[in-house]
Structure 1
Amino acid sequence: MAPPCVFLLFGLLNRTRVYGRWRVPHARNTLVLSNHQSMIDSFPIAYYLFFPEKMFRPHLAPWNAAAAENFFKNPLFAWVFHQFKCIPVRRGRRDLRAMIRSARALRAGTITLFPEGTRSRDGKVGRGRAGAGMVILQTRPQVVPITLEGLDRVLPIGSRLPRIGQRVSIYVGRPVPYEDLAAEGRSRASAQRIVDRVMERIAFQQRLLGRLARR
C-alpha cells in the first residue's frame, strides 16, 4: 500500500495517533514485534514508524512475514509480494526456511513480525510463538515492542473493505532487553521466554493505551 493511500485511510478517514515514535531505532538489525489485529497491521507500522526516512534509507523499509497459502499461491503473486518485501511463512508448523530468510533480511535492515501468528479474535494480546525468539537468538537485534489498538475495528475479521471513522493507536515501547535469556543458550525454551517477555510488554502497553483513551 503506497504512502498516500495509507495516509488517506489512517490519517484522514480514520484517526491515528502514535505514541513514542522517537523510540524506534533507525538502524539495521531492528526487529519490530507487534500484536496482530487485522490483515493490514503492517501498513500503518511501516508508514508511521519509518516514513519518510525509508525513502532516503531503503534499509528502513521493513520486511514482513506473510502467510504462504494466502499470498504466494502462484509464481506471479510470489514475485509481486516479494517486491512488497514479504517473506512467505507456512502456518501451523516450524518453517526453518522462513526463519533463515528473516534472519538474513534482519541483519541487512528492518523486519516486522507478529509473534501471535494469527489475528486476535477479542482484541486482547495473546501468547507469542517461539519462532520470533529463534530469529532474535540468531541475529541479536534491537527488539522494539509495538502495540496496535483499533485496527480490528478498521478491518474486522471477515471484512473485505476497511471501515472509516475509527480511532487507531500505535504505542512504541522502549527496546526490550533479553541478554539474560540469550545467555541461557540457543534453545527453543530460551526463544519462547524471550517472546513471552516481549508479549508481556506489548500487553502492558495495551493497558496504557486504555488509560490514555479514557482521558
Structure 2
Amino acid sequence: MLDSFLVGLGAFYPQSWLKPQLIPWNPAAAENFYKNPMLAWLADNWKCIWVREGRRDLHALHRMMEVLPRGTMTLFPEGTRSRDGSVGPGRPGPGLLILATRPRVIPVAIDGMRAVLPIGRYLPRIFKRVNVSFGPPVDYTDLLAMPRTRETAQAVIDRVMAAIRVQHAELRRRRRRDVAAVDEARG
C-alpha cells in the first residue's frame, strides 16, 4: 500500500496535494493493513480497496471495476512485492479488470523499494534511493476482440509485464552505472 500510494502521489504531484480526488485508488491486502486500527484508518482514507490475498476476491474486483472508469488506480499485477527486487509474473485478475474497463494502462517500474521497505518491515528506511520509470501506454486493443477468458486476461497482463520488465532492466542498468561512477570517483 505504501509504495503504491507514493507512486500515485508522485505521478500526480503537486496536483494531488491541491486536489485529493486525483490520488489513485490502491488495492491493499486486507491481511496486512486492516489488522492495525491506525493502518486501517490510513488505508480507508488513502482510497484503498480491501483485497483478500491469495483468493479470487470477486467483491474487490467488482469494486475496482466500479471505481476505475471514474478515476485512476495504482495496481501491482504480480499481487505482491518480490523478495529479490525482480519483476515477477503477472496474475490474470488485473487482466480481467483491464478487459472489463478498458483503461489507459501506464506501465510503471520501481527499483530500490526493497532497500527502503523490505518484506516484513513496517517502518521504511530513510536516505535510500528509489527509482521510478513511467512508460508509454500499453497497446492491448488487438486483445479486446478475443473472448474474455482467463487466457486473454493473462495475455493482456503478459504484455503489461513485458513493458515493465524493459523499464526495470533500464533502471537497474542506470543504477549500476551510477554506482560504478561513484566508485570510480572515490578512486
Q: Normalising TM by the smaller chain, what interval?
A: 0.7 to 0.9
Q: Are 1:208 and 2:170 counterparts? A: yes
In the other structure, the counterpart of 2:185 is none
Q: Are 1:179 and 2:141 counterparts? A: yes
TM-score by length of 1: 0.76
Structure-1 separation of matches of 2:166 and 2:154: 18
Structure-1 separation of matches of 2:31 and 2:56: 15
In the other structure, the counterpart of 1:62 is 24
Name the aligned partner's letter for residue 29 of structure 2: A
**1:150 aligned residue (93, 109, 112):** 112
State whether residues 50 and 61 of structure 1, in contact with CA within 8 Å, keep that contact through their aligned partners in structure 2: yes
Q: Spell out, residue by residue over 1:70-128, the C-alpha distance to the aligned partner (whole angstroms, 9 max, x if none).
A: 22348997565222200011111111111110111111100111111121011110101
Larger helix fraction of residues: 2
State whether residues 9 and 23 of structure 2, in contact with CA within 8 Å, keep that contact through their aligned partners in structure 1: no
State whether residues 59 and 110 of structure 1, in contact with CA within 8 Å, keep that contact through their aligned partners in structure 2: no
- Structure 2 unmatched ranges of 5 or more: 179-187
Cα offset, 1:54, TM superposition? 2.4
- Structure 1 unmatched ranges of 5 or more: 1-38
Structure-1 separation of matches of 2:32 and 2:79: 14
In the other structure, the counterpart of 1:190 is 152
Alignment: residue pair count: 177
Question: How much identity, in percent, do the aligned residues show?
Answer: 53
Cα offset, 1:51, TM superposition? 1.7
Q: Which secondary structure does the structure 2 equivalent of 1:112 belong to?
A: coil
Flag the 1:180–1:59 CA change in 2: closer, same or farther, 3 A: farther
Q: Are 1:88 and 2:80 counterparts? A: no
Mapping of residues 8-157 of structure 1, within 5 Å: 40-73=2-35, 81-157=43-119
Cα offset, 1:138, TM superposition? 0.7
State whether residues 128 and 195 of structure 1, in contact with CA within 8 Å, keep that contact through their aligned partners in structure 2: yes
Q: Are 1:166 and 2:115 counterparts? A: no
Structure-2 separation of matches of 1:58 and 1:76: 20
State whether residues 59 and 108 of structure 1, in contact with CA within 8 Å, keep that contact through their aligned partners in structure 2: no
Flag the 1:40–1:58 CA change in 2: closer, same or farther, 3 A: closer
Structure-2 separation of matches of 1:154 and 1:75: 23
Cα offset, 1:60, TM superposition? 2.0
Q: Spell out, residue by residue over 1:107-157, the C-alpha distance to the aligned partner (whole angstroms, 9 max, x if none).
A: 110011111112101111010101101110111000000000101101112
Structure with higher RCO (Cα < 8 A, 6+ apart): 1
Structure-1 separation of matches of 2:86 and 2:25: 25
Q: Which secondary structure does the structure 2 equivalent of 1:143 belong to?
A: coil
Flag the 1:158–1:76 CA change in 2: closer, same or farther, 3 A: closer
Over the aligned positions, Cα root-mean-square deviation in angstroms equals: 2.0
